Amino acid sequence: MSVEDLLVRAPGLRITDPRRTSVEVHAYLRELIISGTLPPGVELKQAELARLFAVSRTPLREAFRMLQEEGLVSAEPNQRSHVLGLNPDELELLYAGRVALECLGVRLTAGRMTRDEARSAIAALWEMDRGYRAGDMPGWSVAHHRLHRLLLGRVGDVVLRTIASYAERSERYVRSYQLDHWETVPDRHQEHRDIFEAVRDGVPDRAVALMATHLARTAVGVMRKIDPTRSSSAIDAAVALVAQTDARADRMSE
Protein backbone atom coordinates (compact mmCIF):
# COMPACT_ATOMS: atom_id res chain seq x y z
CA MET A 1 0.00 0.00 0.00
CA SER A 2 1.34 3.45 -0.91
CA VAL A 3 1.84 6.29 1.54
CA GLU A 4 -0.93 8.20 -0.22
CA ASP A 5 -3.34 5.30 0.41
CA LEU A 6 -2.27 5.05 4.07
CA LEU A 7 -2.95 8.75 4.60
CA VAL A 8 -6.50 8.72 3.19
CA ARG A 9 -8.10 8.60 6.64
CA ALA A 10 -5.42 10.56 8.48
CA PRO A 11 -5.90 14.24 9.34
CA GLY A 12 -4.16 16.46 6.82
CA LEU A 13 -1.02 18.46 7.47
CA ARG A 14 -1.72 22.10 8.36
CA ILE A 15 1.22 24.49 8.35
CA THR A 16 0.37 27.17 10.90
CA ASP A 17 3.66 29.08 10.61
CA PRO A 18 5.69 28.95 7.37
CA ARG A 19 8.83 29.74 9.40
CA ARG A 20 8.37 26.44 11.26
CA THR A 21 7.51 24.23 8.28
CA SER A 22 10.24 21.65 8.98
CA VAL A 23 9.22 21.42 12.65
CA GLU A 24 5.54 20.98 11.79
CA VAL A 25 6.29 18.42 9.04
CA HIS A 26 8.46 16.50 11.51
CA ALA A 27 5.73 16.54 14.18
CA TYR A 28 3.13 15.38 11.66
CA LEU A 29 5.24 12.51 10.31
CA ARG A 30 6.30 11.53 13.84
CA GLU A 31 2.70 11.23 14.97
CA LEU A 32 1.81 9.16 11.88
CA ILE A 33 4.66 6.74 12.67
CA ILE A 34 4.03 6.55 16.42
CA SER A 35 0.29 6.02 15.93
CA GLY A 36 0.94 3.20 13.44
CA THR A 37 -0.67 5.01 10.49
CA LEU A 38 2.69 4.60 8.77
CA PRO A 39 3.71 1.08 9.85
CA PRO A 40 7.23 -0.40 9.93
CA GLY A 41 8.65 -1.12 6.49
CA VAL A 42 6.75 1.59 4.61
CA GLU A 43 9.01 3.43 2.17
CA LEU A 44 9.05 7.21 2.53
CA LYS A 45 10.10 9.17 -0.57
CA GLN A 46 10.77 12.85 -0.11
CA ALA A 47 9.53 13.69 -3.60
CA GLU A 48 6.20 11.94 -2.98
CA LEU A 49 5.74 13.55 0.43
CA ALA A 50 6.64 17.00 -0.93
CA ARG A 51 3.81 16.58 -3.44
CA LEU A 52 1.32 15.23 -0.89
CA PHE A 53 2.10 17.92 1.70
CA ALA A 54 2.56 20.76 -0.79
CA VAL A 55 5.93 21.73 0.71
CA SER A 56 9.43 22.02 -0.70
CA ARG A 57 12.17 19.43 -0.31
CA THR A 58 14.21 21.57 2.13
CA PRO A 59 11.89 21.28 5.18
CA LEU A 60 11.35 17.61 4.37
CA ARG A 61 15.09 16.93 4.48
CA GLU A 62 15.29 18.57 7.91
CA ALA A 63 12.23 16.64 9.13
CA PHE A 64 13.78 13.37 7.91
CA ARG A 65 17.02 14.21 9.71
CA MET A 66 15.14 14.64 13.00
CA LEU A 67 13.20 11.40 12.45
CA GLN A 68 16.47 9.55 11.79
CA GLU A 69 17.97 10.91 15.02
CA GLU A 70 14.92 9.60 16.90
CA GLY A 71 15.38 6.14 15.39
CA LEU A 72 12.05 6.26 13.58
CA VAL A 73 13.23 6.10 9.97
CA SER A 74 16.30 4.74 8.23
CA ALA A 75 19.01 6.85 6.62
CA GLU A 76 19.23 5.85 2.95
CA PRO A 77 20.59 7.49 -0.21
CA ASN A 78 18.47 9.03 -2.96
CA GLN A 79 16.20 10.93 -0.54
CA ARG A 80 14.17 7.92 0.51
CA SER A 81 13.87 6.05 3.78
CA HIS A 82 11.65 3.45 5.37
CA VAL A 83 9.91 3.33 8.73
CA LEU A 84 11.98 1.25 11.14
CA GLY A 85 10.52 -1.69 13.05
CA LEU A 86 10.31 -2.10 16.81
CA ASN A 87 13.54 -3.19 18.46
CA PRO A 88 13.18 -4.68 21.98
CA ASP A 89 16.94 -4.32 22.64
CA GLU A 90 16.73 -0.58 22.00
CA LEU A 91 13.62 -0.27 24.16
CA GLU A 92 15.20 -2.12 27.08
CA LEU A 93 18.29 0.08 27.11
CA LEU A 94 16.21 3.23 26.76
CA TYR A 95 14.16 2.24 29.78
CA ALA A 96 17.19 1.15 31.77
CA GLY A 97 18.55 4.66 31.24
CA ARG A 98 15.20 6.17 32.19
CA VAL A 99 15.05 4.16 35.43
CA ALA A 100 18.45 5.51 36.51
CA LEU A 101 17.89 9.12 35.46
CA GLU A 102 14.23 9.52 36.43
CA CYS A 103 14.80 7.98 39.84
CA LEU A 104 17.56 10.53 40.34
CA GLY A 105 15.11 13.19 39.22
CA VAL A 106 12.34 12.32 41.69
CA ARG A 107 14.86 12.02 44.54
CA LEU A 108 16.19 15.52 43.86
CA THR A 109 12.69 16.97 43.37
CA ALA A 110 10.96 15.32 46.34
CA GLY A 111 9.90 17.99 48.82
CA ARG A 112 11.06 20.80 46.54
CA MET A 113 8.09 21.30 44.21
CA THR A 114 6.60 24.78 44.29
CA ARG A 115 2.87 25.28 44.70
CA ASP A 116 2.58 26.25 41.05
CA GLU A 117 4.43 23.09 40.00
CA ALA A 118 2.19 20.95 42.20
CA ARG A 119 -0.91 22.59 40.70
CA SER A 120 0.47 22.00 37.20
CA ALA A 121 1.12 18.34 38.04
CA ILE A 122 -2.46 17.93 39.29
CA ALA A 123 -3.72 19.54 36.07
CA ALA A 124 -1.59 17.11 34.02
CA LEU A 125 -3.05 14.16 35.96
CA TRP A 126 -6.52 15.49 35.23
CA GLU A 127 -5.70 15.84 31.53
CA MET A 128 -4.39 12.27 31.45
CA ASP A 129 -7.62 11.03 33.00
CA ARG A 130 -9.66 13.07 30.53
CA GLY A 131 -7.60 11.75 27.62
CA TYR A 132 -8.16 8.18 28.75
CA ARG A 133 -11.92 8.61 29.10
CA ALA A 134 -12.12 10.32 25.69
CA GLY A 135 -9.88 7.74 24.00
CA ASP A 136 -7.50 10.57 23.13
CA MET A 137 -4.11 8.86 23.18
CA PRO A 138 -2.12 11.81 21.72
CA GLY A 139 -3.66 14.15 24.30
CA TRP A 140 -2.88 11.66 27.07
CA SER A 141 0.73 11.46 25.89
CA VAL A 142 1.22 15.24 25.95
CA ALA A 143 -0.08 15.47 29.53
CA HIS A 144 1.97 12.41 30.50
CA HIS A 145 5.22 13.99 29.29
CA ARG A 146 4.36 17.22 31.11
CA LEU A 147 3.74 15.35 34.38
CA HIS A 148 7.04 13.46 34.20
CA ARG A 149 8.94 16.69 33.54
CA LEU A 150 7.38 18.28 36.62
CA LEU A 151 8.22 15.26 38.78
CA LEU A 152 11.89 15.52 37.73
CA GLY A 153 12.20 19.29 37.69
CA ARG A 154 15.19 19.67 40.03
CA VAL A 155 17.47 17.39 38.01
CA GLY A 156 18.45 20.27 35.70
CA ASP A 157 17.88 21.15 32.07
CA VAL A 158 20.77 19.08 30.63
CA VAL A 159 19.59 15.82 32.22
CA LEU A 160 15.95 16.70 31.51
CA ARG A 161 16.77 16.96 27.81
CA THR A 162 18.39 13.52 27.89
CA ILE A 163 15.38 12.03 29.68
CA ALA A 164 13.01 13.71 27.22
CA SER A 165 14.99 12.25 24.33
CA TYR A 166 14.77 8.74 25.81
CA ALA A 167 11.04 9.20 26.46
CA GLU A 168 10.41 10.39 22.91
CA ARG A 169 12.33 7.46 21.43
CA SER A 170 10.37 4.98 23.54
CA GLU A 171 6.96 6.54 22.88
CA ARG A 172 6.25 4.50 19.76
CA TYR A 173 6.74 1.26 21.70
CA VAL A 174 4.47 2.40 24.52
CA ARG A 175 1.78 3.57 22.10
CA SER A 176 1.75 0.20 20.32
CA TYR A 177 1.32 -1.53 23.69
CA GLN A 178 -1.41 0.84 24.83
CA LEU A 179 -3.42 0.24 21.67
CA ASP A 180 -3.80 -3.40 22.76
CA HIS A 181 -3.95 -2.74 26.52
CA TRP A 182 -5.81 0.57 26.84
CA GLU A 183 -7.74 -0.91 29.78
CA THR A 184 -4.54 -0.93 31.87
CA VAL A 185 -4.20 2.87 31.75
CA PRO A 186 -6.20 3.45 35.00
CA ASP A 187 -3.68 1.29 36.89
CA ARG A 188 -0.81 3.30 35.42
CA HIS A 189 -2.71 6.48 36.28
CA GLN A 190 -2.81 5.47 39.95
CA GLU A 191 0.92 4.80 39.83
CA HIS A 192 1.48 8.33 38.50
CA ARG A 193 -0.71 9.77 41.24
CA ASP A 194 1.22 7.85 43.92
CA ILE A 195 4.57 9.05 42.55
CA PHE A 196 3.33 12.64 42.47
CA GLU A 197 2.13 12.48 46.06
CA ALA A 198 5.48 11.08 47.24
CA VAL A 199 7.38 13.85 45.40
CA ARG A 200 5.01 16.59 46.58
CA ASP A 201 5.07 15.36 50.20
CA GLY A 202 8.87 15.02 50.29
CA VAL A 203 9.23 11.23 50.64
CA PRO A 204 12.21 10.55 48.34
CA ASP A 205 12.70 6.84 49.12
CA ARG A 206 9.08 6.11 48.29
CA ALA A 207 9.19 8.29 45.17
CA VAL A 208 12.28 6.45 43.89
CA ALA A 209 10.85 2.99 44.60
CA LEU A 210 7.54 3.86 42.93
CA MET A 211 9.20 5.39 39.86
CA ALA A 212 11.55 2.41 39.40
CA THR A 213 8.66 -0.06 39.66
CA HIS A 214 6.46 2.02 37.34
CA LEU A 215 9.06 2.32 34.57
CA ALA A 216 10.19 -1.31 34.89
CA ARG A 217 6.62 -2.62 34.72
CA THR A 218 5.92 -0.54 31.62
CA ALA A 219 9.14 -1.62 29.88
CA VAL A 220 8.69 -5.32 30.59
CA GLY A 221 5.08 -5.24 29.43
CA VAL A 222 6.01 -3.62 26.12
CA MET A 223 9.04 -5.88 25.56
CA ARG A 224 7.02 -9.02 26.20
CA LYS A 225 4.49 -7.85 23.60
CA ILE A 226 7.28 -7.74 21.02
CA ASP A 227 9.07 -10.91 22.23
CA PRO A 228 7.30 -12.96 24.95
CA THR A 229 10.40 -15.07 25.62
CA ARG A 230 12.99 -12.34 26.23
CA SER A 231 14.51 -11.54 29.60
CA SER A 232 14.76 -8.06 31.10
CA SER A 233 18.33 -8.16 32.42
CA ALA A 234 19.15 -4.50 31.70
CA ILE A 235 15.95 -3.31 33.37
CA ASP A 236 16.61 -5.57 36.37
CA ALA A 237 20.16 -4.23 36.62
CA ALA A 238 18.95 -0.60 36.54
CA VAL A 239 16.37 -1.24 39.26
CA ALA A 240 18.98 -3.02 41.40
CA LEU A 241 21.45 -0.16 40.87
CA VAL A 242 18.87 2.38 42.02
CA ALA A 243 18.04 0.30 45.10
CA GLN A 244 21.73 -0.10 46.03
CA THR A 245 22.39 3.61 45.54
CA ASP A 246 19.47 4.48 47.77
CA ALA A 247 20.71 2.09 50.45
CA ARG A 248 24.19 3.66 50.37
CA ALA A 249 22.69 7.15 50.56
CA ASP A 250 20.64 6.15 53.60
CA ARG A 251 23.74 4.75 55.36
CA MET A 252 25.75 7.90 54.64
CA SER A 253 23.00 10.10 56.09
CA GLU A 254 22.85 8.20 59.38
Asked if the model's pLDDT at residue 130 lies above 80, the reply is yes
**Residues 239, 220 contacting (CB under 8 angstroms):** no
CA distance 188 to 228: 21
What's the pTM value of the predicted model, to 2 decimals?
0.84
pLDDT of the residue at 157:
95
Angle between helix 88-109 and 137-151 (nearest 10): 50
Beta carbons within 8 Å of 206's beta carbon, 6+ residues apart: 198
pLDDT of the residue at 252:
45
- Give 142 or 250, the one with higher predicted confidence: 142
Question: pLDDT for 197-234, tens place per residue?
Answer: 999 999 999 999 999 999 999 999 889 888 888 889 99
Measured CA to CA in angstroms, residue 165 lies from 97, 171, 253 at distances of 11, 10, 33
Asked if the model's pLDDT at residue 249 lies above 70, the reply is no
CA distance 213 to 195: 10
User: What is the torsional sign of CA 146, 239, 249, 97?
Assistant: negative
pLDDT band at 137 (very low <50, low <70, confident <90, very high): confident
CA distance 208 to 195: 8
pLDDT of the residue at 246:
62
Say which CATH architecture domain 3-82 belongs to: Orthogonal Bundle (1.10)
CA distance 177 to 22: 29
Domain 88-253: CATH class, spelled out: mainly alpha
Question: pLDDT for 59-77, tens place per residue?
Answer: 999 999 999 988 899 988 7
Please state the separation of Cα 245 from the chain's center in Å: 25
CA distance 210 to 103: 9
Lowest mean pLDDT among 31-40, 121-130, 137-146, 171-180: 171-180
Going from N- to C-terminal start, the domains of the chain cover: 3-82, 88-253
CA distance 112 to 202: 7
Share of the chain above pLDDT 90, in %: 68
- Give 152 or 224, the one with higher predicted confidence: 152
Asked if the model's pLDDT at residue 242 lies above 80, the reply is yes
Measured CA to CA in angstroms, residue 28 lies from 64, 82, 228, 251 at distances of 11, 16, 32, 49
pLDDT band at 250 (very low <50, low <70, confident <90, very high): low
3-82 and 88-253 share one fold: no
Question: pLDDT for 81-128, tens place per residue?
Answer: 999 988 889 999 999 999 999 999 999 999 999 999 999 999 999 999
**Amino acid in the structure at residue 14:** R
Most confident residue range from 58-62, 149-153, 163-167? 149-153
- Give 5 or 182, the one with higher predicted confidence: 5
